[in-house]
């Protein structure tokens, strides 16, 4: 192979590598549509809570608070999704009610699983009293899947 052919081969390989890197960079980060109340969000996190344990409840709230501090309330969209016994965090009488309400004012969204609420109502004859700032979603796990497919990072502290 002469010098000219070698140079053409190297340039072709370099161009192909650059094109592949460019395509990879475009597909690495999914296009996330920021929530309407977080138009400048650059980071998207869904926190899963499915356990009724004050230590885990506190940990989820601490993670949300730390994310707000790390990125700034305008730059991070946080959604706490509760289902199963994890909905206890969102009961009106929960010991962390004030902290939940404070995080809501900073833009954190708290979802409660409607299927879990329906099951409790069927079993006890009464629907649990839930924090009015919580947003009822039909299926908590489906909400996590939807958020994940939308580009959110799902974390289970």
Burial of 140 (0-12, 13-18, 19+ CB in 10 A): buried
- In the numeric block, the tokens 């730390």 are attached to 66
User: Does residue 13 carry a pLDDT above 80?
Assistant: no
Structural tokens at position 155 = 């974390």
Is 46 within 8 Å of 60 (Cβ atoms)?
no
Going across the sheet that includes 109-113, the strands are 135-137, 109-113, 76-82, 43-49, 153-155
Residue bearing the bigger pLDDT, 19 or 57: 57
Rounded Cα–Cα distance for residues 142 and 70 (Å): 28
Q: Give the mean model confidence (pLDDT) for residues 86-98.
A: 98
Predicted local confidence at residue 32, as pLDDT: 75
Tokens describing residue 149: 């497919």
| Percent share of the chain, pLDDT over 90 | 75
Q: What residue ranges in 6-75 does DSSP mark as E strands?
A: 43-49
- What is the pTM (predicted TM-score) of this model? 0.80
């Amino acid at each position: 192979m002469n010098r000219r052919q070698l140079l053409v081969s190297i340039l072709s390989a370099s161009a192909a590598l650059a094109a592949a890197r460019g395509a990879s960079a475009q597909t690495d980060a999914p296009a996330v549509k920021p929530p309407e109340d977080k138009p400048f969000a650059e980071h998207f996190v869904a926190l899963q809570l499915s356990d009724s344990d004050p230590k885990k409840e506190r940990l989820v709230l601490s993670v949300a608070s730390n994310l707000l501090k790390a990125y700034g309330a305008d730059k991070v969209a946080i959604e706490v999704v509760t289902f199963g016994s994890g909905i206890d965090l969102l009961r009106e009488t929960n010991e962390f009610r004030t902290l939940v309400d404070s995080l809501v004012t900073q833009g954190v969204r708290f979802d409660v699983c409607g299927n879990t609420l329906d099951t409790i109502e069927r079993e006890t004859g009464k629907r649990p009293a839930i924090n009015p700032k919580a947003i009822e979603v039909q299926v908590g796990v489906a909400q996590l899947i939807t958020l994940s497919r939308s580009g959110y990072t799902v974390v289970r502290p």
